[in-house]
C-alpha cells in the first residue's frame, strides 16, 4: 500500500470505520449484520494500522536522513 495517513484511502477507511462503529453502537443491526460489520471493521483497523506504521517508518527515515547523527528518534503521538 502506498497510501499514508491523510491520503484519500486512509481517510475513506477511517470514515467507513467510524460509520461501522456508529451502526454497531446503535443496536439497530441484526446479529448477522453486526457480525458482518464487525468483521469489516477489523479489516479496516488492520489496514489503517498498516498505513500508520508505514508513515511512522517514513518519518523516522526522514529524521535519520536529516540528523547529524545516525541515531533515529521514535515518532510518538501525544
**pLDDT of res. 74:** 74
34: domain range? 8-66
Contacts for 7-12 with beta carbons within 8 Å, 24 or more apart? 7/51, 9/51, 10/48, 10/51
**Domain membership flag for residue 21:** yes
pLDDT tens for the 78 residues of the chain, in order: 455 555 678 899 999 999 999 999 999 999 999 999 999 999 999 999 999 999 899 888 888 877 755 566 677 766
**Domain membership flag for residue 17:** yes
**Domain membership flag for residue 73:** no
The Cα angle at residue 60 between residues 56 and 61, in degrees rounded to 5: 115
**pLDDT of res. 69:** 59
Structural domains in the chain (count): 1
**Domain membership flag for residue 3:** no
User: What CATH number is associated with residue 18?
Assistant: 1.10.287.1040
Look at the alpha carbons of 64, 66, 70, 76 in this order and tell me if their dihedral is positive or negative: negative
**Domain membership flag for residue 76:** no
Amino acid at each position: 500500500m502506498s497510501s499514508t495517513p491523510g491520503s484519500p484511502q486512509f481517510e475513506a477507511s477511517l470514515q467507513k470505520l467510524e460509520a461501522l462503529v456508529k451502526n454497531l453502537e446503535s443496536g439497530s443491526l441484526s446479529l448477522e449484520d453486526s457480525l458482518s460489520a464487525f468483521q469489516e471493521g477489523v479489516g479496516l483497523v488492520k489496514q489503517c494500522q498498516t498505513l500508520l506504521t508505514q508513515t511512522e517508518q517514513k518519518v523516522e527515515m526522514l529524521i535519520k536522513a536529516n540528523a547529524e547523527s545516525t541515531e533515529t528518534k521514535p515518532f510518538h503521538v501525544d
